[in-house]
Amino acid sequence: MTSTAQGELKQNPKTPVASRFSMRRQKIAEHRKSLPIASVEKRLIEEVQKNDILIIVGETGSGKTTQLPQFLFNAGFCRGGKMVGISQPSCIAAVTVAKRLAEECDVQLGQRVGYSIMFDDTTCSSTSLKYMTDALLLREALVDPLLSRYSVIIVDEAHERTVHTDVLLALLKKVQLDRSIGNKGLEVEAKTNDEIGGVLRGCQISPLKLIYNCSISTIIMSASLDARVFSEYYGGAKALHVQGRQFTVDILYTVHPVTDYAALVITIFQIHLEEKPGDILVFLTGQDEIESVERLVQERLEHLPEDKRKILPLAIFSALPSDQLMRVFAPAPIGFRKVVLATNIAETSITIPGIRYVVDPGRVKARTYDPSKGMETLDAVPTSKAQALQRSGHAGREGPGKCFRLYRQREFEKLEDSTKPEIKRCNLSNVILQLKALGYDDIFGFDFIDKPSSAIVKALAELHLLGALTDDCKLEKPAGDQMARLPLDPVYSRALILANQSNCLEEMLITVAMLSVESIFYDPPREKREEARTSRNHIASVEGDHLTYLGVYRESNEFLEAENSEEAEVDQTLRKWCKDNFVNSRSLKHARDIYRKIRGNVEQMGFNVSSCGNDMLEYRRCLAASFFLKAAQRQMDGTYRALESGEIVHIHPTSVLFRSKPECVIFNELMQTRKKYIKNLTRIDPVWSAHHHYNTEE
Ligand code: CDP
Ligand code: MG
């Protein structure tokens, strides 16, 4: 079952193809008409015409993301080659919604409707409705500071308050002002240089309309509060509430705390065997967890009698190739029950039809950041109450449903009410570098909705250390500029710049690509562990994880070359190699895509991609120089001390250096479970990081 068309093929083998498609079209038209937002189309358009800023609050699934852009298109907001831009908090949302809309409008993706995400752009000059990540829209402002091709920008899921959304809020406010000053022409008395700049730049451009979409679940009373925050930030902007549909959802808690996947899998099968038809949505923290649960479900399935096996597990997470993302939206074959294993992405920004049951272990992968130590971690933490409510709401979109919370009720009472905006809990060097490149020198004067003061100070200091900013905090040329243009964390961009100078750019591109994906190796079932260990010993490098990843990438490449596969067979050949070597093929494939994209980026910047061949010393020195901010030294007791923060950390058991415990290492990731662990390590010589005489000004 790979696509909707096939799904219907199986269900109705006798229906001719043409009529099947027209049936599908008719179904979509009916679905569109039945959405809560459909009845207020006229009113919404009137309000957009009347107001330059509008806040729309509505339940998830009411049609804000898919319908509003079509209303605007029909009302003429895309005339004269203008676009409606819709920013999304994640790549998955941008991709799946654009694909859905192309289907609804019956157009080819990339024509009237398209998406653009960091490593994948499907839009062309005739695109009118453009879905993109909030991070990408921010990047577009680098090239076109007035966002002059857009007539309307919709900031979708604004309530999620991702760091990029928060920066966009302030930036769009400024862009809107610049465009309206320009529109009134030179009669306006522009007082400041900034304003005069705005007048000159903004001439001939119509005002920019801004719409902020917030998703809520009716049961969340604080939702109106969210809208108020936005409204006040925009000087009393109008907020509209779109009435949605929400059926009752029975909430069930566990009696005892749940600590393992077994209980989760049992819950899934209990629902499958005892409850009425309806699909199941399970919230997990990431690709790793999803793939483990997927395997457990498959294993258990084999122990069921034949007639009870009609269960279809489907995964959705960001590293999934875009052609596989849409499978979760297609209906399950008749008699089958879909079990969607999703990350937090399914919480608000995508709505999957058919869901009746939600299983919520109550955890989410979130960033935390301690500016005083400069330490950012990405860990699984308890959800907030608001998130738990959003999750359970999915069980009641199409009828009454049930939500199984895998924790005790008293634990729910202890949860935080809502999630802290991401800008308050992440490293800001990336966005601040973007703002600097946009010409905003006064970061403290920037109109953030929630100003993260200490994180700003820390980010400026870090960017200075990385050679992106001068002593007086101006953009360093060309390094700072180059770093801002690469779609990567500044630390990785700098690693590429350094590698370019030491002739190991090829190796560093591979490294950065491999570090950008989740777990290259996977945990095999128990009976295969020994075999996996032997196979891994053969690939593992004594120098550390970075060289091991490099080895994996190169070996898989050599295998592909030796097999001489046709273009169409590459995937299959790669999967075979991965299986034999206990490598996660989805991750490796994703890394290969990222490699290709960033290689293109650096080549565009005029870098010549050269390789150091087998001279691993040069490459390791370059790693040390690139990641010197994250060096750690072994202590007498075998623990490590992170040099910048002074924290005591441990080598993660998955690292190839777990047993050898070298004296000094650099690491890329810090995670907190029972202890603080460092991941992705390379052994370095202590003297290297002490004086990193690399020149970033070449
Ligand atoms: O943005 P909002 O949460 O208000 O709703 P939406 O994402 O526009 O979704 C409207 C409807 O379209 C929901 O009922 C979804 O189930 C459906 N939809 C779908 O069937 N397939 C998709 N790929 C996206 C949405
Ligand atoms: Mg939406």
Task: Please write the tens of the pLDDT for every residue from 477-491.
Answer: 999 999 999 989 999
What pLDDT shows up at residue 672?
A: 81
Q: Report which ligand 1 atom has the smallest distance to the Cα of 157.
A: 1
How far, in Å, CA of 465 to CA of 586, rounded? 35
Q: What is the DSSP string of 112-141?
A: SEEEEETTEE---TT--EEEEEHHHHHHHH
CA distances from 427 to 136, 267, 373, 529 (A): 18, 37, 11, 37
Domain membership flag for residue 3: no
Does 545 map to a domain?
yes
**Domain end (from 225, 242, 259):** 242
Ranking 162-176, 198-212, 557-571, 647-661 by mean pLDDT, the lowest is 198-212
For residues 222 and 287, state if they share a domain. Answer: no
1 has a pLDDT exceeding 90: no
pLDDT in tens, 241-266: 888 778 999 999 999 888 889 999 99
Interval between CA 41 and ligand 1 midpoint (Å): 16
The confidence score (pLDDT) of residue 204 equals 61
- Res 179: pLDDT: 87
Cβ atoms of 402 and 275 within 8 Å: the answer is yes
What pLDDT sits at residue 193? 61
Residue 474 CA to ligand 2 center (angstroms) comes to: 38
Do 282 and 405 belong together in one domain?
Answer: yes
Tell me, what's the pLDDT at 384?
A: 93
Question: Which ligand sits nearest to residue 62's alpha carbon?
Answer: 1
Q: Is 96 in the pocket of ligand 1 (CB under 6 A)?
A: yes
Give the domain range for residue 668. 627-697
Q: 329 CB less than 6 Å from ligand 1?
A: yes
What is the Å distance from ligand 1's center to 179 Cα?
Answer: 33
**Do 449 and 408 belong together in one domain?**
no
Q: 677: part of which helix (H) or strand (E)?
A: strand 676-683
- Distance between CA 24 and CA 566 in Å, rounded? 35
The DSSP code sequence of 178-238 is: HHHHHHTGGGS---SHHHHHHHHHHTT-PPPEEEEEEEE-TT-TTHHHHHHHHHHHTTS-E
- Measure the CA dihedral 326/105/102/67, to 10°: -80
Residue 30 lies in a domain: no
- Does ligand 1 lie within 6 Å of residue 159's CB atom? no
Q: What is the Cα–Cα distance from 357 to 459, expressed in whole angstroms?
A: 43
State if residue 69 touches ligand 1 by the CB under 6 angstroms criterion: no
d(CA 61, CA 58): 8
- Tell whether 481 is covered by a domain: no
3-state secondary structure of 688: helix
Q: Find out whether the beta carbon of 100 lies less than 6 Å from any atom of ligand 1.
A: yes
- pLDDT exceeding 70 applies to what percent of the chain? 91
293 closest CA partner among 261, 336, 326: 261
Q: What is the pLDDT of residues 361-416, one digit of tens each?
A: 999 999 888 888 777 888 899 999 989 999 999 999 899 999 999 999 999 999 99
Predicted confidence at residue 17, as pLDDT, reads 64
Given this model, what pLDDT does residue 44 score? 94
C-alpha dihedral (453, 454, 458, 459), degrees to nearest 10: -30
Listed residue (405, 102, 390) closest to 246, CA to CA = 390
**pLDDT score, position 6:** 37
Cα 455 vs. chain centroid, distance in angstroms? 22
Q: Which residues have CB under 8 Å from 680's CB, separation 6+?
A: 515, 545, 546, 655, 667, 668, 669
Task: Summarize the confidence of residues 512-530 as an average pLDDT.
Answer: 85
**What is the CA(65)–ligand 1 centre distance, in A?**
7
Lowest-confidence pick of 31-45, 168-182, 434-448, 494-508: 168-182
Residues 543, 587 within the same domain: yes
Strands 150-155 and 120-121: unpaired
On the question of pLDDT at 197 being above 80, the answer is no
Least trusted range by pLDDT, from 28-37, 45-54, 192-201, 332-341: 192-201
Instruction: Kindly tell me if the per-residue pLDDT of 183 is higher than 70.
Output: no
Q: How far is the CA of 326 from the centre of ligand 2 (A)?
A: 16
In a domain, 498, yes or no: yes
Q: Is 687's pLDDT higher than 80?
A: no
pLDDT digits (tens, 9 = 90+) for 56-93: 988 888 899 999 999 999 999 999 999 999 999 999 99
pLDDT at 191: 57
Q: What percent of the chain is predicted at pLDDT more than 90?
A: 64
CA of 508 to the centre of ligand 1 (A): 40
Residue 265: which CATH number? 3.40.50.300
Residues 302 and 400 in one domain: yes
Residue whose token pair is 């900013």: 469
> Distance from the CA of 121 to the center of ligand 1, in angstroms?
22
What is the atom index within ligand 1 of the atom nearest the CA of 397?
14
| Atom 7 of ligand 1, nearest CA residue | 65
At residue 450, the 3 state secondary structure works out as coil
What total of structural domains would you count in the chain?
5
CA gap 202, 206 in Å, rounded: 8
- End-of-domain residue from the set 223, 242, 261: 242
Q: 182: Cβ–Cβ under 8 A, 6 or more apart, which residues?
A: 146, 198, 199, 200, 201, 202, 203, 204, 205
Residue bearing the bigger pLDDT, 427 or 21: 427
Going by alpha carbons, the residue nearest to atom 8 of ligand 1 is: 63
Average pLDDT for 283-307:
92
Cα separation, 285 vs 365, whole angstroms: 5
Identify whether residues 405 and 435 lie together within a single domain.
Answer: no
What pLDDT is attached to residue 10? 42
**Residue 668: pLDDT over 80:** yes
Gap from CA of 688 to ligand 1 centroid (Å): 53
Does the Cβ of 215 fall within 6 Å of ligand 1?
yes
With a cut of 50, say whether residue 691 has pLDDT above it: no
Helices (H), 341-489: 385-393, 409-414, 429-437, 453-465, 479-485
What is the rounded average pLDDT of the residues 637-662?
93
How far, in Å, CA of 402 to CA of 314, rounded?
Answer: 20
- Burial of residue 582 (CB within 10 Å: 0-12, 13-18, 19+) is buried
Q: What are phi and psi of 675, to 5 degrees?
A: -120, 175
Write the DSSP symbol of residue 422: G
DSSP code, position 306: G
Q: Give the pLDDT band of residue 222 (cuts 50, 70, 90).
A: very low
Give pLDDT, residue 558: 92
* Residue 662 Cβ contacting ligand 1 at under 6 Å: no
Instruction: Tell me, using a 6 A CB cutoff, whether residue 63 lines ligand 1.
Output: yes
- Do 67 and 179 belong to one domain? yes
Clarify whether residues 528 and 409 are in a common domain: no
pLDDT, tens digit, 9 for 90 and up, residues 93-127: 999 999 999 999 999 999 999 999 987 899 999 99
Confidence of residue 312 (pLDDT cuts 50, 70, 90): very high
Q: In which residue are the tokens 């403290």 written?
A: 444
- What pairs with residue 77 in β-bridges? none
- Asked, for residue 12, whether it belongs to a domain, the answer is no
Q: Are residues 121 and 233 in the same domain?
A: yes
Q: Ligand nearest 216 Cα, by number?
A: 1
Q: Is 60 a pocket residue for ligand 1 (Cβ < 6 Å)?
A: yes
Residue 689's pLDDT is what? 55
**Which ipTM value was assigned to this complex?**
0.99
**Residue 614: pLDDT over 90:** no
Ligand nearest the Cα atom of residue 102: 1
Ligand 1 probe mutation, 32, 39, 100, 351, most atoms within 8 A of CB: 351
Rounded CA gap, 679 and 546, in Å? 10
Q: In angstroms, what is the span from residue 77 Cα to ligand 2's centroid?
A: 20
Going by C-alpha positions, the residue among 346, 306, 351, 353 that lies closest to residue 332 is 353
Cα–Cα nearest to 600, from 432, 520, 485, 494: 485
Q: Compute the average pLDDT of residues 497-508.
A: 95
For ion ligand 2, residues whose CB falls within 5 Å: 64-65
Over its C-alpha atoms, the chain yields an Rg (Å, rounded) of 26
pLDDT on residue 645: 85
For 467-481, what is the HEC assignment?
A: CCECCCCCECCCHHH
The half-sphere exposure of 243 on its side-chain side, counting CA atoms within 13 A, is 3
pLDDT of residue 3: 39
Q: What is the pLDDT of residue 9?
A: 35
Q: Is 35 in the pocket of ligand 1 (CB under 6 A)?
A: yes
pLDDT of 228 higher than 90: no
pLDDT at 697: 40
CB burial of residue 35 (10 Å; 0-12, 13-18, 19+)? middle
Instruction: Please answer whether residues 468 and 480 qualify as being in contact, where contact means their C-beta atoms are separated by less than 8 angstroms.
Output: yes
User: How far is Cα 320 from Cα 589, in angstroms, rounded to an integer?
Assistant: 10
Structure tokens at 654: 């998955």
Q: What is the pLDDT of residue 5?
A: 37
CA distances to 373, 448, 511, 690 from 631, rounded to whole Å, are 13, 33, 17, 10
* Residue type (1 letter), 593: D
Decide: 66 in ligand 1 pocket, CB within 6 A. yes
Residue 81, domain member (yes or no) = yes
pLDDT at 324: 84
Q: Which CA distances in Å does 27 have to 12, 33, 335?
A: 15, 10, 20
Could you tell me the pLDDT band of residue 288, with boundaries at 50, 70 and 90? Answer: confident
The overall average pLDDT reported for the chain is 88
**351 Cβ below 6 A of ligand 1:** yes
CA 63 to ligand 1 center in whole angstroms: 6
Residue 1 is assigned to a structural domain of this protein:
no
Between 21 and 270, where is the model more confident? Answer: 270
Ligand at shortest distance from the CA of 66: 1
Q: Measured from the CB, is residue 551 less than 6 Å from ligand 1?
A: no
Domain boundary among 196, 212, 242: 242
Tell me how far CA of residue 406 lies from CA of 224, 551, 628, in angstroms.
29, 41, 42
CA of 221 to the centre of ligand 2 (A): 19
Query: Is 579 in the same domain as 450?
Result: no
User: Which pLDDT score, from 0 to 100, does residue 196 have?
Assistant: 58
Residue-wise pLDDT for 523-552, tens only, equals: 777 778 888 888 888 889 999 999 999 999
Hey, which residues does 377 pair with through a beta bridge? 368
Q: Which residues contact 569 (CB under 8 A, 6 or more apart)?
A: none
pLDDT band at 216 (very low <50, low <70, confident <90, very high): low
Distance from chain centroid for Cα 387: 17
Residue 11's pLDDT is 44
Q: Which residue has the higher pLDDT, 638 or 259?
A: 638
Ligand 2 centre from 107 Cα, in Å?
Answer: 21
- Supply the pLDDT for residue 260: 87
Same structural domain for residues 540 and 600?
A: yes
pLDDT of residue 185: 45
Residue 183 CA: distances (Å) to CA of 161, 175, 202, 569: 30, 12, 6, 55
Based on the domain organization, do 289 and 209 belong to the same domain?
no
Q: Whose CA is nearest to atom 16 of ligand 1?
A: 353
Q: Looking at ligand 1, which residue's alpha carbon is closest to its atom 23? A: 100
